[in-house]
Amino acid sequence: MGLGGISIWQLLIVLAIIILIFGTKKFKNIGSDLGGAVKGFKKAMTDEEKEKEQEKADQKQIKQEDADFTEANKADVKDEQKSDK
């Protein structure tokens, strides 16, 4: 038993008929087009993951800068309070 009750021999017969109808050249072109589409899909997925990682790193950097800014403000406020006294 193969896929869904179809044996391997039936699949080979269907494949042979398709090759006879369309020819090997079109069959080869379909295969290369399909391979190119899969490569493009994988590349897009990895690019998206890299972009998400970059966004996370940028957000961490912004948070760090904000934290540094608030610490600097606290120090400035303390200095101003000391100079006012």
More confident residue, 81 or 20: 20
pLDDT of residue 17: 92
The CA distance from 72 to 60, in Å, is 18
As for how many domains the chain has, the answer is 1
Distances 25 to 10, 30, 45, 46 between C-alpha atoms, Å: 23, 9, 30, 32
Inform me whether the pLDDT recorded for 82 exceeds 90: no
pLDDT tens track for 22-72 = 887 887 888 889 899 999 999 988 888 888 888 888 887 777 766 665 655
Q: Which residues constitute the domain of residue 42?
A: 3-84
pLDDT of residue 2: 52
Phi, psi angles (nearest 5°) of residue 6: -100, 130
pLDDT of residue 58: 80
